[in-house]
Amino acid sequence: MKRAFAGLVCATLLSSGAFAATDRCTVPQSEWKPKEALKLQLEKEGWKVKRIKTTSGCYEVYGFDNKGAKKEAYFNPKTFVFVGDE
């Protein structure tokens, strides 16, 4: 029973957050748009961006969305399409 539970926990972790985002960010770095452009786009949408970093080929944004909710979200660096959060 303990092994089954451990397997379920591992499967859940592998299918969420950053792991899910990594499969969607396979754009060559030469095609990436600047982080500042993503920041400006999100701020126009009402976000308060605290930090943007690169994680597994995605832009990882830390801040608050337009509803004031704290966010850690992943975006495609070429299209700025949202690909997942934690």
Q: Give pairs for 34-39: CB < 8 Å, separation 24+.
A: 35/59, 37/80, 38/75, 38/77, 38/80
Residues contacting 43, CB < 8 A, separation 6+: 49
Q: Which domain holds residue 7?
A: 2-85
Tokens of 9: 């926990």
41 touches 29 (CB < 8 A):
no
Number of domains comprising the chain = 1
Residues in a beta bridge with 75:
59, 82
> What is the pTM assigned to this prediction?
0.73
Check whether 74 has a pLDDT greater than 50.
Answer: yes
| pLDDT score for 23 | 67
pLDDT in tens, 29-67: 999 999 999 999 999 999 999 999 999 999 999 999 999
